[in-house]
Amino acid sequence: MEPAPNMSDDIALIIALFAIAWLGVCALISLMGGWHRLAAKFRATSAGRGEEIRFVSMTLGTGLFPARYRNALFVTVGPSGVGLSVIFLFRVLHPPLFIPWSAVESVRRERSWLVNHVAVSLHDFDKRLFFRGRAGKKILETFNALA
């Protein structure tokens, strides 16, 4: 007679596989989306000063596979630049960033697919960052005030 399957072993295996898949997807988004490359240039060494806006949505890049961070970012906009950090659950290979205004090439309003957003272009970086809502408005206002 076979022993009855142990449900706790199955549950532990499912949880472990889910955790591995979660970490893998977060890492893949960072690598393919461009956050990892941004971190090579703009990794934050300290907390930025300025207005913090929580649960911000941002899209990094365009095309078939842009990285979409829906309500998953904390954005700090200040006189020296923009700080970006991802909420804890998605932080694998997503270290906090600080992008100084000197690295920003342009900030402008755009509209695509009936959605208004603010597009941020950086010097020597091939992908743009698209912000919506209050964060986009604050980034645009601050950039224009400093220009």
46-84: per-residue pLDDT in tens? 877 899 999 999 999 887 788 999 999 999 999 999 999
Quick check: 147 pLDDT over 80? no
Low-confidence winner among 18-27, 100-109, 124-133 (lowest mean pLDDT) = 18-27
Quick check: 3 pLDDT over 70? no
- pLDDT band at 26; cut points 50, 70, 90: confident
Per DSSP (E only), the strands in the chain are 51-60, 67-77, 81-86, 97-100, 104-112, 115-122, 129-131
Tokens, residue 66: 């842009």
Report yes or no: 75 and 53 within 8 Å, Cβ to Cβ.
Answer: yes
Tokens, residue 126: 């091939």
Q: What is the dihedral of CA 117, 131, 118, 110, to 10 degrees?
A: -30
For residues 54 and 32, the model is more confident at 54
Taking only the tens place, the pLDDT of each residue in 84-124 is 999 988 888 899 999 999 999 999 999 877 789 999 999 99
Look at residue 96 and give its three-state secondary structure.
Answer: coil
Q: What is the dihedral of CA 61, 119, 53, 31, to 10 degrees?
A: 10
Q: Which of 51, 55, 62 is nearest to 115 (CA)?
A: 62
Q: What does the pLDDT average to over 18-45?
A: 88
Q: Domains for the chain: give ranges and CATH numbers.
A: 35-146 (2.30.29.30)
Q: What is the dihedral of CA 15, 36, 80, 76, to 10 degrees?
A: -20
Quick check: 145 pLDDT over 60? yes
